[in-house]
Amino acid sequence: MILLTLSSALVFAASVTAQQVNRTLTNGWGSTPSQRHYINHTQALIVINAGIAASSVPNNIAVLDPSSQLVAFLRMDNAYLGSVDISMKKAKTVTSFNGQFPSYGLLNRSQPGGDLFGIEQTNGGLVVFGGGQPIYDYEGYFIGAVGVSGGTVQQDVDTSVAAAESVGTTLTSITLANHAITPSLPMADRAQPYPSKQHEMETIENADNILRPTPSNFEKLYLAPEQAVAGKLRFTFGNPTPIALAGFLLANTPATCMLMGWHGAGGGQGIANADTGAYFFCGAVLLYCGAVGEWILGNTFPAVVFFTFGGFWGTFGATLTPFFAAVSGYGTDAAGFYDSFAFFLVFMAVLCLFYAIAALRTNICLVIILVCFCVTFPCLAASYFYAGAGVGPATECRVVGAAFAFVASMVAWYLWFSMLLEAVDWPFTLPVGDLSKFIKGKSDKLKSAEHMA
Ligand SMILES: *[C@@H]1O[C@H](CO)[C@@H](O)[C@H](O)[C@H]1NC(C)=O
Ligand SMILES: *[C@@H]1O[C@H](CO)[C@@H](O)[C@H](O)[C@H]1NC(C)=O
Ligand SMILES: *[C@@H]1O[C@H](CO)[C@@H](O)[C@H](O)[C@H]1NC(C)=O
């Protein structure tokens, strides 16, 4: 009987940018047309119609592009004529400061004694109460503003928020207004996909973060730091990460139990052949499917890790399958087989080491999983070498290696469950120890360097 011990590993990785937009120049001075993002008339009509649908009183609704130019305007029957101008000025108040806050963001500071007292007199007249909302498209670009006037301030705010959200997202907090108005806004601020960290913190509370995850949420959902990807694929498709994780769990967890010989599993000798089907159809197939999904969404790191582990389980399953003659090819020379297969595990260990380093930009759970595999694979390789030599603690090495893989499995179950809860919008979330803030990414550093300049 062949002593086949192994285990698996799993890893995921950091995503990569399919197509970079130079956000420094987005809508900025000297930007070229392809670097500008502005609302088009199709979107403007959607905003107007959403505004009408959300109106409880006759309203005037104005849509401006980021350069404060009118794109669409509609006066509902019997709306106040005086509100025509107000609606446009509300939107203009937002666009004049690059969509950093809703029109009411200036309210308190423009009062007598406020540091921006009189600001509404500038620019041919601004409106500092509610009803003007910035519009961000689904990729996070500031593309224009909507102004609504006709009801009470609260009604106008509600209508304008609903209108803005018909084509993307908006801001519902004025935190930024308390510090953002300086004589000149840093270009980096206006150019980022998210206006600022505060904006991210605000949107995390909103339902729209289901559509556009915040950076820490993104990292949790996809096991990779967020990077820009062209198009809206991430809004169109589901999240493949938990699918791949489920495949990993259903292959890895029972295999480790067999290798440890629990409850008589593995015939007490760590024989892991019973679940060969699971290695192929849960391990390999689900991991490959998840990897393809990640690849399509532009999440390179998880795609690489899932493909690798899918490959591992396929290899493991095939090695156990007599058809491939992996074992019988060695005839009676079992030692030759052990010594040869051990090298596969040695290099899986090397791979996991690199993955573990890359994972330091993701979350603690993933790092624990990968570090466990950095122990598991060398132990299993040692177990094979000892088995090949016929002396030494082959069994002990196998059990220790499997134990670490089992720990990795337990952490992976937790990670997977936290993603499931996220996927069904469960009222609480399980923390996975976001690490993306601790090691600053190259692109983050570039951004802050531009900011300082
Ligand atoms: C974006 O453009 C600015 C200005 O030309 C340049 O300094 C910066 O390096 C560019 N960034 C990238 C990521 O290409
Ligand atoms: C307007 O923008 C939307 C969203 O980006 C796009 O789907 C649509 O095709 C555009 N319409 C026109 C007329 O350019
Ligand atoms: C204005 O100030 C009051 C009192 O400090 C505060 O409660 C309110 O939220 C502020 N409103 C805005 C729009 O800044």
Q: Is 22 in the pocket of ligand 1 (CB under 6 A)?
A: yes
Asked whether residue 207 carries a pLDDT value surpassing 50, the answer given is: no
Tell me the range of 38-42, 203-207, 418-422 where mean pLDDT is highest.
38-42
**Which ligand is nearest to the Cα of residue 29, counting in written order?**
1
Spatial CA neighbour of 9 closest among 452, 395, 453, 378: 378
Residues 334-374 have pLDDT tens digits of: 888 888 889 999 999 999 999 999 999 888 999 999 999 99
Higher pLDDT, 55 or 322: 55
Nearest alpha carbon, ligand 3 atom 14: 108
Fold that domain 25-212 belongs to in CATH: Beta-Lactamase (3.30.450)
Residues counted in the chain:
453
Report how far ligand 3's centroid is from the alpha carbon of 174 (Å): 9
Give me the pLDDT at residue 448, please: 67
> Hey, how many other C-beta atoms are within 10 angstroms of the C-beta on 440?
12
Task: Name the residue of 43, 139, 142 whose CB sits within 8 Å of the most ligand 2 atoms, as the mutation to test its pocket.
Answer: 43
pTM: 0.52
Report how far ligand 1's centroid is from the alpha carbon of 123 (Å): 31
Asked whether residue 211 carries a pLDDT value surpassing 80, the answer given is: no
Say how far apart CA 145 and CA 273 lie, in whole Å: 62
Task: Name the residue of 16, 21, 25, 443 whose CB sits within 8 Å of the most ligand 1 atoms, as the mutation to test its pocket.
Answer: 25
Say how far apart CA 161 and CA 437 lie, in whole Å: 31
Nearest alpha carbon, ligand 1 atom 6: 24
Report how far ligand 2's centroid is from the alpha carbon of 44 (Å): 10
Report how far ligand 1's centroid is from the alpha carbon of 450 (Å): 9
**Which ligand is nearest to the Cα of residue 107, counting in written order?**
3
The C-alpha angle with vertex 409 and arms to 405 and 412, in degrees rounded to 5, equals 135
Residues 88-147 have pLDDT tens digits of: 999 999 999 888 889 998 998 899 988 899 999 999 999 999 999 999 888 778 899 999
Asked whether residue 4 carries a pLDDT value surpassing 80, the answer given is: no
Nearest alpha carbon, ligand 1 atom 5: 25
Give me the pLDDT at residue 87, please: 97
Indicate the domain borders of the chain.
25-212, 217-445
Host H or E run for residue 373: helix 364-389
Torsion of CA 226, 232, 234, 235, to 10 degrees: 130
Higher pLDDT, 271 or 22: 271
| Shortest-distance atom of ligand 1 to CA 20 | 13
Give me the pLDDT at residue 452, please: 54
